[in-house]
Amino acid sequence: MIKIKVIRDSTNLIRGFTIKGHAGFSEAGSDIVCAAVSALAYTAAGALLEFIGIDGHTEKHGYMKCIVSDEIPKDKKEKAEIILETIVLGFKQIEHSYGRYISVLDEEVLTDD
């Protein structure tokens, strides 16, 4: 199962997400659930880099983390929020159709400590 955690700050703005695991819907290379999640995750990382100049993702086999620093200017933070809310909507739509293979947890909160 793919487990996605949406990371929010204390004001409920999305700061990023983590993705762990494999869907297991089909064999590697033809798994449409993995492909859909990967497409959204890489779209988020690409959009953050291309439109905002943020290269905040790390990845390895079966894992991706994408984080937007709180230290960026307000206008860039607003653009990042739109990108991330859109991507999370996509993750949740996949979960709605393929809930046995993907879980989206939208509760993790970063504190401003």
In-domain check, residue 59: yes
In-domain check, residue 41: yes
Report pLDDT digits (tens) over 5-31: 999 988 899 999 999 999 999 998 899
- Which structural domain range is residue 86 located in? 14-98
2, 24 in Cβ contact below 8 A? no
Q: What is the mean pLDDT of residues 23-46?
A: 94
- Please name which of 59, 56, 97 lies closest in space to residue 76, comparing C-alpha atoms: 56
pTM given for the model: 0.91
pLDDT score for 64: 96
User: How many distinct structural domains can be found in the chain?
Assistant: 1
What CATH number has the domain bearing residue 20? 3.30.70.1490
In-domain check, residue 4: no
In-domain check, residue 103: no
In-domain check, residue 111: no
Report pLDDT digits (tens) over 51-107: 999 998 999 988 999 999 888 999 999 999 999 999 999 999 999 999 999 999 987
